[in-house]
Amino acid sequence: MSRVGMVYTPPEHRRRGYGAAVTAAVSQWALDQGARDVVLFTDLDNPTSNSIYQKIGYRPVYDAVEYRFPTTVA
């Protein structure tokens, strides 16, 4: 298994396909190297990135929520 993480395109370079191309290339590379699965964590509330990821072959599997509780010092 391989994980793609921290996909970010600076605002001045967006809408040119750079992020999609890099994500697709690194995902294919991982598969070519023998990864059976390639995973990508994303914000399901972001329609732009999710549309791109689905076009290059990713599909949503589940939605997760992270909760953090403050710790107290005794």
* Residue 6 pLDDT class (50, 70, 90 cuts): confident
Q: Each residue of 9-65: pLDDT tens digit?
A: 999 999 999 999 999 999 999 999 999 999 998 888 889 889 999 999 999 888 888
In a domain, 66, yes or no: no
In a domain, 6, yes or no: yes
In a domain, 31, yes or no: yes
Residue 33: which domain range?
A: 2-55
pLDDT at 44: 81
Structural domains counted in the chain: 1
| Three-state SS letters, 1-68 | CEEECCCCCCHHHCCCCHHHHHHHHHHHHHHHCCCCCEEECCCCCCHHHHHHHHHCCCCCCCCCCCCC
pTM for the model stands at: 0.79
pLDDT at 30: 97
